[in-house]
A and B are shown apart, each in its own frame.
Chain A
Amino acid sequence: MYDGGKILAGLAAFLALALFPFWEPAVGGRVARPEPKIVTAEKRCVRPKAEMRQSHMELLVSWRDSVVRQGQRSYRDPEGKAVTMSLEGTCMRCHPNKAEFCDSCHTALVVAPTCWECHIEPKERA
Chain B
Amino acid sequence: MRVIWSLVLVGALAAIAFAGSRAGGEAVFAVAVPYLALATFLVGLSARVIGWARSPVPFRIPTSCGQQRSLPWIRSSRLDNPSTGLGAAGRVLLEALAFRSLFRNTRAELREGGRLSYAADKWLWAAALAFHYSFLTILLRHLRFFAEPVPGFVALLQGLDGCFRVGVPTFYVSSVLLVVAAGFLLGRRLLDPKLRYLSLPADYVPLVLLLAIAASGLLLRHVYKTDLLAVKDLAVGLVTFRPVVPEGVGGLFYVHIFLVSSLFAYLPFSKLVHAAGIFLSPTRNLANDNRRRRHVNPWNPPIVGHTYAEWEADFHDKLVAAGLPLDKE
Contacts and interface: CB of A to CB of B under 8 A. Distances in A.
B169 interface: yes
Given A4-B53, A30-B148, A58-B168, A110 B295 contact: no
A124 to B, nearest CB: 21
A60 B240 CA distance: 36
A116 interface: no
Contact of B228 (A25, A30, A109): A109
Interface string B283-308: 00000000000011110000000000
B240 A1 contact: no
B151 to A, nearest CB: 8
A21 B147 contact: yes
Given A1-B298, A22-B239, A7 B154 contact: no
B56 A2 contact: yes
A21 B168 contact: no
A108 B52 contact: no
Given A105-B229, A109-B229, A15 B46 contact: yes
B143 interface: yes
B168 A33 contact: no
Give the interface size bracket for A toward B.
35 or more
Contacts of A2: 53-57, 298
Given A1-B56, A28-B149, A61-B168, A33 B236 contact: yes
Contacts of A11: 46, 49-50, 53, 276
A3 B53 contact: yes
Interface string B130-164: 00000000000001111111100011001100000
B143 A21 contact: yes
Contact of A109 (B53, B144, B225): B144
Contacts of B158: 110, 112
A8 to B, nearest CB: 5
Given A4-B54, A109-B228, A31 B148 contact: yes
A109 B232 contact: yes
A24 B52 CA distance: 30
A6 to B, nearest CB: 8
A112 B155 contact: yes
A45 interface: no
B155 A108 contact: no
A57 B54 contact: no
B287 to A, nearest CB: 12
Interface in B237-289: 239-240, 276, 279-280
Interface of B: 42, 46, 49-50, 52-57, 143-150, 154-155, 158-159, 165, 168-169, 225, 227-229, 232-233, 235-236, 239-240, 276, 279-280, 295-298
19 contacts: A1-B298, A7-B280, A8-B49, A10-B49, A11-B53, A18-B42, A21-B147, A25-B236, A28-B147, A30-B240, A33-B232, A54-B227, A60-B168, A105-B229, A108-B148, A109-B144, A109-B145, A109-B232, A110-B155
Interface of A: 1-4, 7-8, 10-11, 14-15, 18, 20-22, 24-25, 28, 30-31, 33-34, 53-55, 57-58, 60-61, 105, 108-112, 114
Given A108-B229, A109-B145, 11 more contacts: A1-B295, A7-B52, A10-B279, A11-B276, A21-B235, A21-B239, A25-B236, A25-B239, A108-B148, A111-B169, A112-B155
